[in-house]
Amino acid sequence: MSAVSLELAKAHMKVDDTAEDALISLYIEAAEAWCGNYIGKAIADLEPVPADIKLAILRLVAFYFECRNIASFGLSMQLAPHGVTSILDSYRERWFTDAA
């Protein structure tokens, strides 16, 4: 179960039609995976998912949606907007990897 529904993501981005539902659903899945990897814990393991993490996911979904064509023009872009990492930093479990 996603922390962010398709309907909530579309409302956040002010998308009214259904033409891009599959793409937005993919972005939700990717954003949740990215956020989970960043904090070191799967979003699905957080019960309940804090509102600020949902906001970070929504911001990342909107970023993916708005910037989907930038890579095709050879322009560089951030991996995630600064606001996303700022929100997630307080949930991050490890800042440095353990030496093997």
| Inside any domain, residue 98 | no
CATH classification of the domain holding 12: 1.10.3230
1, part of any domain: no
What string of pLDDT tens digits covers the 100 residues of the chain?
Answer: 789 999 999 999 999 999 999 999 999 999 999 999 999 999 999 999 999 999 999 999 999 998 877 655 544 555 677 789 889 998 987 666 554 4
Domains contained in the chain, number: 1
How many Å apart are CA 3 and CA 12, to the nearest integer? 14
Residue 59 lies inside a defined structural domain of this protein: yes
**CB of 53 within 8 A of CB of 88?**
yes
Residue 72: give the domain boundaries: 6-91
Structural domain includes residue 28: yes
Residue 66 covered by a domain: yes
pTM, 2 dp = 0.83
In a domain, 99, yes or no: no
